[in-house]
Amino acid sequence: MLCVSDPLFFDARYTTIKEQHQINEDIRDKEVRVISASGEQLGIMSAREALQRAEEEDLDLVKISPSAVPPVCKIMNYGKFKFEQAKREKENRKNQKIVELKEIYLSMTIDIGDLNVKAKKTMEMLSDGNKVKVSIRMRGRQQAHASMGVDVMKRFFEMLGGKAVMDKAPKTEGRNILMILSPAK
């Protein structure tokens, strides 16, 4: 149960329907531009008149554009409107592709066979639409020869054969060498 002292109490996700749109008696403007349920403009009238018209049709008066002068209100079935809006949002979330950042570890002394296996795995990740972070961790004396690690990274990128685009070129950052790849269009 949320209380007023809880920070989530004022969070937008927890607002009620009436706080998202002003409906019926909550509309306190003197004049409003009214649109009928069929979509035709009924003109500018007082909020009371508009509410009376909505009640005659057993529908709700909803303020859809509060920033306009005068505010625009529409006569509609608000419950049906909210249901369809929620349905559209759910559909949009379902169709959204979430891009993940996967990681592949290489070493400075990696052999060609192992490099082929890593390249094949990277191509699978890229074909799924994910970005791939390729990293090499340098140990001990390897830090003095960071250019060898960058060469391994460049050779690895060439093995991918144009199926990847380099978002971030191989760069030494402390003990690591990092490169970020994304799928080619």
DSSP for 18-37, written as a single string: HHHS-BGGG---SEEEEE-T
The Cβ-side half-sphere exposure at 86, using a 13 Å CA radius, reads 8
Give residue 42's region: left, alpha or beta (phi > 0; psi -120 to 50): alpha
Domains of the chain: 16-78 (3.10.20.80), 101-183 (3.30.110.10)
Quick one: pLDDT at residue 11?
52
pTM: 0.51
Rounded to the nearest integer, the mean pLDDT of the chain is 83
Choose among 32, 84, 37: nearest CA to 56.
37
Residue 55 pLDDT > 90: no
Q: Measured between alpha carbons, how far is 169 from 151 in angstroms, rounded to an integer? A: 12
Q: What average pLDDT score do residues 17-40 get? A: 78
